[in-house]
Chains A and B, each alone.
Chain A
Amino acid sequence: MSGEEGLPVTPAEEASPVPPSQETRREAMAFVVAAASWLVPGLGHALLKMWGRAVICFLTVGVLVWVGAGMRGNLFTSRGNDAFDSLGYLADLGTGGFYWVAKSLETNGPDVSRADGDYGTRFLATAGVFNLLAALHAYEVARGRKV
């Protein structure tokens, strides 16, 4: 079995069902879905008509942000002092639009002098990391690698 230039070609490459132009379009669409999923939790899955997962992603991030902000968790900013602050900021930023929702909910600012505030910080970070995971899942589904 050989290709046009005499190079060996595997059966999977030879029988590629998707033309390159369609593949590029699918890739671009997958990026749009991932970006939408990050910006508004669940939107990426909604674009793929996965309604159950869309609602669950939205509610999960929403509940975690609401509880985290309610417990006065620390919402990191871009002006961090060390690597942990920067990592925390990246995790919080993962919530997309909910980052600003959390900011507006925390009218009294964070209070990590109590265990509540410390737990709240973890809730907020988890919301961000979960949303990034959901965006990656939506991207993979849009690429056709997952169902």
Chain B
Amino acid sequence: MRAWRLIGLLNTLTGVRLSHFQALVVFALVISIAFGFLGRRRPMERVKYILWTLLLFILIGVGIGWAMYPFSH
């Protein structure tokens, strides 16, 4: 009984509903931070790299989205 409750709670906690844009931002943010930490050593360089990668991820993602828009109609 307790195990079923735990699974139910876990389900509620893990049920993630994101819009297309939110998913893009979460993905871009997490990967940018990870790449920044792996690719650069100095804190300032990391911050610059993270911001630059995040910006490119979002701009290119939105750009590709708009480029595909005419084909969806």
Contacts and interface: CB of A to CB of B under 8 A. Distances in A.
Contact of B20 (A69, A105, A108, A115): A115
30 contacts: A52-B37, A53-B37, A56-B37, A56-B38, A57-B34, A57-B38, A60-B31, A63-B26, A63-B30, A66-B14, A66-B16, A67-B18, A70-B14, A70-B15, A71-B16, A71-B17, A71-B18, A107-B11, A116-B16, A116-B23, A119-B18, A119-B20, A119-B23, A120-B16, A122-B27, A126-B27, A126-B31, A130-B31, A134-B34, A134-B38
Contacts of A137: 38
Given A53-B37, A67-B26, A105 B31 contact: no
A102 to B, nearest CB: 10
Contacts of B64: none
Interface in A30-47: none
Contact of A53 (B14, B20, B38): B38
| Dominant secondary structure at the A interface | helix
B27 A56 contact: no
Interface size class on chain A is 20 to 34
Contacts, number: 57
